[in-house]
């Protein structure tokens, strides 16, 4: 009887020890695989933008003939585009909050406003590019200054514009899924992941606008 108790106690202690060894720390908390993957992607993408802006800064610092951006770029119009993009980030947050409250109508409304904001930004950018080309500013040449001014401008803003376009398509996909009731249960993981991308796009544009248009 006593021997059995000892064996049982020893087995329990051994099992408890094994359970303790097998328990692993949860580094990422409750984050889904998709969310972790998006964070990894945004980290590497952020380094790409950092490299572009660093290259722009070096070229500008080494060229004394670098023109004043305010003389050639539509700062006022781009400021409006910046405001629209920031507002779209707010509507993205509201869309997620509405979905978590299972308010499908408001979720769709705010998602649509976010998409509209992204499309408006792209429309302003296309208008600006068209105007600059008519003024003699193209990717490899600039009639009123060093060609690097034009090439870095189109490279950085164009790369960001591609991100905005990708984000709009991404959000349209999310909107379509929401339209057929995909998120009616309040599980907003996919919407939150899309929101991470959209907020990143907005944040990067603030940096691009500051470095290229204002400084």
DSSP 138: E
Name the least confident of 15-29, 32-46, 77-91, 179-193: 15-29
DSSP 70: G
Options 1.20.120.80, 3.90.470.20, 1.10.1240.10, 3.40.50.300; CATH for 33-214 is: 1.20.120.80
Q: How far apart are CA 117 and CA 172, in angstroms?
A: 12
pTM recorded for the entire structure: 0.81
CA angle 122, 125, 131 (to 5 degrees): 145
Q: How far apart are CA 211 and CA 174, in angstroms?
A: 32
Task: Return the pLDDT at 16.
Answer: 45
Task: Return the pLDDT at 30.
Answer: 63
Task: Return the pLDDT at 205.
Answer: 95
Domain parsing of the chain, residue ranges: 33-214
6 pLDDT band, cuts 50/70/90, is very low
> How buried is 200 (Cβ within 10 angstroms: 0-12 exposed, 13-18 middle, 19+ buried)?
buried
Task: Return the pLDDT at 106.
Answer: 94
The SS3 assignment for 46 reads helix
pLDDT tens, position by position, 40-52: 999 999 999 999 9
Chain mean pLDDT for the chain: 85
DSSP 49: H
Which residues, at least 6 apart from 103, have a Cβ–Cβ distance to it below 8 Å? none
């Amino acid at each position: 009887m006593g021997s059995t108790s000892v064996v049982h106690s020893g087995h329990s202690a051994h099992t408890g020890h094994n359970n303790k060894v097998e328990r692993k720390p949860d580094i990422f908390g409750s984050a889904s695989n998709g969310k972790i993957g998006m964070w990894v992607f945004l980290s590497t993408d952020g380094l790409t933008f950092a490299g572009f802006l660093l290259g722009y800064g070096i070229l500008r610092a080494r060229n004394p003939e670098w023109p004043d951006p305010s003389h050639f770029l539509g700062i006022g119009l781009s400021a409006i585009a910046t405001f629209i993009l920031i507002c779209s980030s707010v509507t993205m947050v509201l869309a997620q909050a509405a979905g978590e409250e299972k308010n499908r109508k408001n979720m769709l409304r705010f998602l649509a406003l976010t998409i509209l904001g992204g499309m408006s930004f792209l429309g302003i950018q296309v208008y600006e590019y068209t105007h600059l080309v008519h003024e003699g500013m193209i990717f490899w040449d600039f009639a009123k200054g060093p060609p690097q001014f034009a090439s870095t401008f189109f490279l950085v803003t164009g790369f960001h514009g591609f991100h905005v376009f990708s984000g709009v398509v991404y959000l349209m996909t999310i909107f379509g899924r929401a339209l057929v009731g995909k998120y009616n249960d309040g599980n907003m993981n996919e919407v939150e992941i899309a929101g991470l991308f959209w907020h990143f796009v907005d944040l990067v544009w603030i940096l691009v606008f500051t470095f290229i248009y204002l400084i």
